[in-house]
A and B are shown apart, each in its own frame.
Chain A
Amino acid sequence: MLTTLSLASAFLLIGLLAPILLLFESRGDTTGIERLIVQPRHSITDFLPINHAVAIQGLPGVRAVSHQTWFGGTFRDGTHSFARWAVPTDSYFALHPEIVLSSEARLAFSTTRTAAVVGRTTAERFGLKVGDRIAIVPDIWSNKEGDAWEFDLVGVFGASDNRVDLTALYLNHAYFDEYRAWGTGLVSYINVGLEPGRSAGNVSTGIDAHFANSADETNTSSERDFALGFAQQLGHIGLMISVILGAVLFTIALVTANTVAHGMRERMAEFAVLRAIGFRCQTTQLLVTGEALALVLLGATPGLVISVILLELGRKFVPQLAGISTGLDTLAASAVLVLVITLLTVLQPALRLGRLQIVDELRKP
């Protein structure tokens, strides 16, 4: 029972960390990439001129362009953290069709200068509804009057896939750009949609080459690598997760091996009887392997199921988890780990069964 619980805990951890590790492992892989993000080359605190977006639109392989600017600020008492972005009202949502916004809300967002739309999770968390007025005290972007910014909530958006941050708030960039006290014409990032079939690697290289040696050089990457780049600023996340998972696996393999070996020591006479009545050595080894596999699966299955549920729940409240989910790659990796742990566990018992002397075991009291 304790071993099963240990295995369940270990596979819960694996189920939670493996998707993140696999995400880091896929860094640099541009297969299937449809969108790029262009950021200032030297620092994420720099900005890019909005004119870059116009220039990028004319480059080969580029289908559409939009941009976003980190707004920041303090909402209510400042203890509530969620992303706030100023975005162009039409192009941003056209480039991000996974953000689900009703046509009425989209129209209102385009036609209302002070418009804002918010993700479903934040709306539910703070009881926000269409028609509410939202006040945000600026920390980066003071407005021309030096007051708090005020926005009118015109819509609540949902998501058609798990990449969308449902805690985010989007503001009308035109209003923000016109009313901010400084930095007019500057944006944080430029979003680029690729033409179908175009290589993300080639297009991003082309963009960065276009602005090379200019005053505002760029660094272009896929959206996934962009997000991972943020996480990597904390340290070598992939390596840290690998080390944690390695330690967990090593420990759990030892615990399981000890349980199986202990159980087998107590039942050597049973195996001797099986051998005596005609079961082959390989058959008894297969029996032990089957038992060990069942034990590992008994712990691994609930652990993984709980991790899937926790990730689904976590994504609703932790925006950093957007895009992270238990995919087939995680399940395949878990299946391999189940087999590896099983094999490590039965190695010693199987060798012992191979050396079993029927007469000696039956003679023992």
Chain B
Amino acid sequence: MAEVLVDVQHVVKRYRRGAHVVNVLNELNVQIPRQDFVAFMGPSGSGKSTLLNLIGGLDRPDQGHVIINGQDIAGFPDRELTSWRAAYVGFVFQAYNLMPALSAEQNVALPLLLTRLGASEIRQRAQTALEVVGLADRSSHRPAELSGGQEQRVAIARALVSDPQLLICDEPTGGLDRTTADDMLSLLHLLNRDLAKTIVMVTHDPKAASYAGRVLHMDKGLLLEQGRLEPGQARNGASQ
């Protein structure tokens, strides 16, 4: 087995809803090797998005460990966790979440503002990221001037621009039509295969999950079963 990048150990996560405490994740264990493309599927409330947030360092478990690249990020103080996210994780959200007042290039460049790079270097890297997602000619466009698919591509470019090891994708095709969604998933597949990005995706869509190398099903805060697809099988399956 390849080197483990994400190692979730005995994670418990509870939410308080009024007077009730709901266990969202119950002693969950999961390992994700480096350069894997994993899709988590399951009904609403199964805990897959909560798990994604824990792996992405957006939330903390009540118990257990979230070890990424050998570091238990669950114990990081806020400031350190924020810096860790900037360095190691790229996020792609269902709602794209681009800044409406900024151009595509400026949106992509946002994570680089946290680095010590100069303005011309930042611009060049943002342009390169836009080229990777096929939107170099839309760099000066604002989100309102882009289609949904183009907006999501800009969001992927923003997630890629700081060259993170891990891409966290929360329903990345949820707001897209089938054709655009397929384009998007093909792009993620390429990023995994050619740029060796480890991708963790949450989706309701079996077709979207078929692009992943591995599909993990969850329910009631537990992992149910695992299915591994051979490299290339996923993409073939998706294109059928």
Chain A residue at smallest Cβ distance from B87: A278
- CB pair A274 B82 closer than 8 Å: no
- CB pair A275 B82 closer than 8 Å: yes
- CB pair A269 B95 closer than 8 Å: yes
- CB pair A274 B110 closer than 8 Å: yes
DSSP majority for the B interface?
A: helix
With A270-B97, A273-B97 in contact, is A280–B82 under 8 Å at CB?
A: yes
CA distance A280 to B78 in the complex (A): 9
- CB pair A273 B93 closer than 8 Å: yes
- CB pair A359 B83 closer than 8 Å: no
DSSP majority for the A interface?
A: helix
Chain A residue at smallest Cβ distance from B57: A276
Q: Per-residue CB proximity of A353-364 to B under 8 Å, as 1/0? A: 000001100110
With A269-B95, A362-B93 in contact, is A277–B58 under 8 Å at CB?
A: no
- CB pair B79 A280 closer than 8 Å: yes
> Chain A nearest CB: distance from B126 CB in Å?
13
Question: Counting CB contacts under 8 A, is A281 at the interface?
Answer: yes
CA distance A270 to B87 in the complex (A): 20
> Which of B82, B86, B87, B170 neighbours the largest number of chain A CB atoms within 10 Å of its CB?
B82
> Which of A270, A272, A273, A275 neighbours the largest number of chain B CB atoms within 10 Å of its CB?
A273
> Chain A nearest CB: distance from B16 CB in Å?
13
- CB pair A276 B91 closer than 8 Å: yes
Question: Counting CB contacts under 8 A, is B59 at the interface?
Answer: yes
Contact pick for A277, options B49, B53, B86, B95, CB 8 Å: B86
Residues of chain A in range 246-282 having any CB-CB distance to chain B below 8 Å = 269-270, 272-281
Chain A residues with CB under 8 Å of B93's CB are 273, 362
With A273-B93, A359-B58, A359-B59 in contact, is A278–B99 under 8 Å at CB?
A: no
- CB pair A279 B114 closer than 8 Å: yes
- CB pair B97 A362 closer than 8 Å: yes
Chain B residue at smallest Cβ distance from A270: B99
Q: Per-residue CB proximity of B47-78 to A under 8 Å, as 1/0? A: 00100010010110000000000000000001
Question: Counting CB contacts under 8 A, is B33 at the interface?
Answer: no
Question: Counting CB contacts under 8 A, is B85 at the interface?
Answer: yes
Chain A residues with CB under 8 Å of B99's CB are 270, 273
Chain A residues with CB under 8 Å of B111's CB are 277-278
Size of interface on A: residues with Cβ below 8 Å to B: 16
Q: Per-residue CB proximity of B91-119 to A under 8 Å, as 1/0? A: 10101010100000000001100100000
Chain B residues with CB under 8 Å of A275's CB are 82
Chain B residues with CB under 8 Å of A281's CB are 78, 82
Chain A residues with CB under 8 Å of B170's CB are 362
Chain B residues with CB under 8 Å of A276's CB are 56, 58, 85, 91
Question: Counting CB contacts under 8 A, is B125 at the interface?
Answer: no
CA distance A269 to B114 in the complex (A): 19
Residues of chain B in range 162-177 having any CB-CB distance to chain A below 8 Å = 170
With A269-B97, A359-B59, A362-B93 in contact, is A277–B110 under 8 Å at CB?
A: yes
- CB pair B97 A278 closer than 8 Å: no
Chain A residue at smallest Cβ distance from B170: A362
Chain A residue at smallest Cβ distance from B85: A278
Chain A residues with CB under 8 Å of B79's CB are 280
- CB pair A278 B58 closer than 8 Å: no
Chain A residues with CB under 8 Å of B153's CB are none
CA distance A199 to B202 in the complex (A): 82
Chain A residue at smallest Cβ distance from B59: A359
> Chain A nearest CB: distance from B83 CB in Å?
7
CA distance A358 to B170 in the complex (A): 14
CA distance A270 to B85 in the complex (A): 16
CA distance A281 to B85 in the complex (A): 13
CA distance A269 to B59 in the complex (A): 16
> Which of A270, A277, A279, A362 neighbours the largest number of chain B CB atoms within 10 Å of its CB?
A277
- CB pair B110 A358 closer than 8 Å: no
Chain B residue at smallest Cβ distance from A365: B95
CA distance A274 to B110 in the complex (A): 8
- CB pair A358 B58 closer than 8 Å: yes
Chain A residues with CB under 8 Å of B78's CB are 281
Chain B residues with CB under 8 Å of A277's CB are 85-86, 90-91, 110-111, 158
> Chain B nearest CB: distance from A249 CB in Å?
30
Chain B residues with CB under 8 Å of A270's CB are 97, 99
> Which of A276, A358, A363 neighbours the largest number of chain B CB atoms within 10 Å of its CB?
A276
Chain B residues with CB under 8 Å of A359's CB are 53, 58-59
Chain A residues with CB under 8 Å of B53's CB are 359
> Chain B nearest CB: distance from A260 CB in Å?
16
> Chain A nearest CB: distance from B70 CB in Å?
20
Top 6 A-B pairs ranked by shortest CB distance?
A: A278-B86, A273-B97, A277-B111, A358-B58, A359-B59, A359-B53
Q: Which residues of B contact A (CB under 8 A)?
A: 49, 53, 56, 58-59, 78-79, 82-83, 85-87, 90-91, 93, 95, 97, 99, 110-111, 114, 158, 170
16 residue pairs from A and B, CB less than 8 Å apart: A269-B95, A270-B97, A273-B91, A275-B82, A276-B58, A276-B91, A277-B111, A277-B158, A278-B83, A278-B111, A280-B79, A281-B78, A358-B58, A362-B93, A362-B95, A362-B170
Given contacts A276-B56, A277-B86, A277-B91, 17 further A-B contacts (CB under 8 A): A269-B95, A273-B99, A274-B110, A275-B82, A276-B91, A278-B87, A279-B86, A280-B79, A280-B82, A281-B78, A281-B82, A358-B59, A359-B53, A359-B58, A362-B93, A362-B170, A363-B49
